[in-house]
Amino acid sequence: MSSFTHQFDTPSYKGTSTVSTGLFINGKFVEPVEKGTIEVVNPVNGKVITSVAAGTAADIDIAARAARKAYKERWGLKVPGVQRGRMLSKLADLLEANADEFAALEALDVGKAFRAARNGDVSASIAALRYYAGWADKIQGKTIETNEKKLAYTRHEPVGLVGAIVPWNFPLTMLSFKLGPALAAGNAVIVKPSELTPLTALRLCPLFVEAGFPDGVINVVSGYGSTAGQALSEHMDVDKITFTGSTLTGRKIMETASKTNLKKITLELGGKSPSVIFDDVDLEQTVKWVSHGIFMNHGQACTAGSRIFVQAGIYDRFLKAFTEHVSSLKVGDPFARDTYQGPQVSQTQFERIMGYIKSGKEEGATVHIGGERHGNEGYFIQPTIFTECKPNMKIVQEEIFGPVAAIIKFTTEEEAIEQANNTVYGLACSVFTRDIDRAIRVAHSIEAGTAWINCHNSSELSLPFGGFKQSGIGRELGEYALEHYTNLKAVHVNIGHRL
């Protein structure tokens, strides 16, 4: 079986990583049926890092049969929750022991700063696996009072086989957010990582074996969305799809699920999150949080606070301080110790973002800073701030998924709420003010699944995450996520009723 070895000799990490590049099915790496491959590209320079197997419908079918057999014979409720929790906990320990290597792989094919990958992505992944390890033996039903002649209770049973389609912006973290509750609840899983960023998912496979998961319980099939992803969504043996990605693809998955076996679905989709800044804020802290809200992960986050509404009384002071802060962000080599922003993930994404910047200019917005390519190679874009933005502009209405902020001035609270809700999305929002009454009032008024007050992109594993409107269906994280990975059964026991 082919593998890829990379020698890292960087200021942030020195070491060797070897990744098997086949498909991981039934506990071992195998070649794809059609022998196709996908090139994995380094976004720093546009050069090919390696090639991985390109799975197709035939491979998804093989994986589904292996997963279904494993679920029926050696997984599900046949393995007590305590044991499932121990395996998840062991997987978290193994990931922690190799944390720097995984961070380096994320920096290599995603392009994110090593520091952010290590302290953010990998740490969150470890924590998520441990969190759901704790839940594995606490998924409980209820005994429900009916009458003296009946015992009635509920139980939560695994859905069965889950297809997990993982995005390219947080490959390891999103994988962990899906594996954790799926495995804790006793499901078997087929993972389809993004074709752009498959390395950490493939590197994790040997750790599944070492953690003690039975063969076939976790399978990883790399491939294109239009082939492997489509086949996973269509497969009649797959009981649920959990997907993170674009609203357009989410619609296709929803349609496919309805036309096949009416799969359960969890969709975490796009966003155009507003940050609302009132006159009375702590300016220094607000600037830092708003910057983190939009420029974290190079703006490649579904919760990115890309619409920044600033009250007139503080607008000039905020813009000056925000400009100074954003201008100080270091763009460059992901492995440099002082890098904040690396390249965008791909040529396609780079061109898409530059297209939005061009649109903003053409529609009359003002490029306050940035708006251009950074450097001469790779997919780097300058952190960009637009002013003089109008509600109907594409840069205000559509998800850019890049380091581009649109700043809009407002006067009244009512005006801010109306503009914040003027979007088809409803994933997240943030409100900045010292007035706690106003903070809660506005947070409750904005149509979004997550509301942050005096912070942004500050999530907790124990709180549910998901969107209103076209930002998705269902929830990830917290206890709420477990509901989407179980079927609820009501049991009626006759203990005295006679006909």
Answer for the pair 192, 52: CB distance below 8 angstroms, yes or no.
no
CA 350, CA 298: separation in Å to the nearest integer? 11
Determine the distance from the C-alpha atom of residue 487 to the mean position of all C-alpha atoms in its chain, rounded to a whole number.
24
- Closest by Cα among 198, 160, 203, 176 to 29: 203
Residue of 302, 389, 429, 476 marked catalytic? 302
- Closest by Cα among 22, 484, 475 to 219: 22
CA 52, CA 178: separation in Å to the nearest integer? 22
- Four-point Cα dihedral 218, 222, 223, 226, nearest 10: 40
Neighbouring CB atoms inside 10 A of 258's CB total 11
Q: Kindly state the tokens that stand for 24.
A: 């991981």
Residue at token pair 């990931």: 95
φ, ψ for residue 404 (rounded to 5)?
-130, 120
Q: Kindly state the tokens that stand for 102.
A: 């995984």
Q: What is the DSSP string of 151-218?
A: EEEEEEEE-SEEEEE--SSSHHHHHHHHHHHHHHTT-EEEEE--SSS-HHHHHHHHHHHHHTPPTTSE
Is 268 annotated in the active site? yes
| Sheet order of strands, 264-268 included | 28-30, 23-25, 218-220, 188-192, 161-165, 240-244, 264-268, 472-473
Answer for the pair 120, 171: CB distance below 8 angstroms, yes or no.
no
Residue of 195, 268, 399, 476 marked catalytic? 268
Q: Kindly state the tokens that stand for 142.
A: 């209820």
Is 302 annotated in the active site? yes
CA 262, CA 240: separation in Å to the nearest integer? 9
Q: What is the DSSP string of 451-469?
A: EEES-SS---TTS-B--EE
Neighbouring CB atoms inside 10 A of 239's CB total 22
Three-state SS string over 35-75 comes to CCEEEEEECCCCEEEEEEECCCHHHHHHHHHHHHHHHHHHC
Q: Kindly state the tokens that stand for 425.
A: 């999305």
- Closest by Cα among 42, 36, 38, 5 to 20: 5
Positions marked catalytic:
268, 302
